[in-house]
Amino acid sequence: MEGWCHPGEAHEEGPFGEWTGYYASGVRPAPVIQVQCVMHRNDPIMVGVPPNRPPHDYSYMRSVLRSAMLSDALIKAGVPDVRGVWCHEAGGSRLILIVSIKQRYPGHARQAGFVASQCQVGAYLGRYVIVVDEDIDPANTFDVLWALATRSDPAKDIDIIRRAWSGPLDPIIPRGPEVGFNSRAIIDACKPYEWIDKFPAVSESSPALRARMIGKWGKILSWETEPPGSAHAAERLE
């Protein structure tokens, strides 16, 4: 579109959907363009991705990029043995951060959680940071929730940071002087380091046995790559 935008000519516009999945930013004046010409192509490829309730293309794209950035930030900050990072799409890549580590020393899990929540990549408008062991895929929500349910004690393993860096798009913060601040929950969903060697062993088939069974029965049972109990298998059953 081509046109003219004259100083002082404006109309109220908004609110618009935001990456949080809610309307935000309110109504405000925006410049008006007097359109003079519209050019187009036949059979266009539409690339517009309005931010709505996640997940959508916009949240998926941001999750991948921000996960790589957060992983890089943790390593540069000196957090060792980071095995995986996922900035979950349900939180628009900001509100739920999951970090997988191989525990090396007492406090390692807390260190990873606090650094993830307050480094430049993770600091703005965060909410929850969940730290899991290296056997948990941070991008597998079912695995993460299993670790959260079985390896964390709410009374011992949740730390709260108050007056952290939020923003005007945070839907849980009321309009007023509190805008700009929020709290963070750092959840240690790792095995307790002080008795990690005595923690109950995971009850599951070996990867080799699972691969053999999938190869033999997968087509019949319609799970060529994932056994029952996985998140995707449950979706197919539904």
Domain ranges in the chain are 57-196, 207-237
Give the pTM. 0.83
Residue 32 DSSP SS3: strand
Which CATH number is correct for 57-196, 3.30.1280.10, 3.70.10.10, 3.40.1670.10, 1.10.3470.10? Answer: 3.40.1670.10
Determine which one of 9, 12, 13, 18 is catalytic: 18
Give catalytic status of residue 18 as yes or no.
yes
**Sequence-distant (≥ 6) Cβ neighbours of residue 9 within 8 angstroms:** 31, 32
Burial class of residue 165 (count of CB atoms within 10 Å of its CB; 0-12, 13-18, 19+): middle
pLDDT tens-digit profile, the chain (238 residues): 999 999 999 999 998 889 899 998 789 999 999 999 999 999 988 777 778 899 888 788 899 999 999 999 999 999 999 999 999 999 999 999 999 999 999 999 999 999 999 999 999 999 999 999 999 999 999 999 999 999 999 999 999 999 999 988 899 988 777 788 999 999 999 999 999 999 999 998 888 998 898 888 888 877 655 555 554 444 443 4
Rg of the chain (C-alpha set): 23
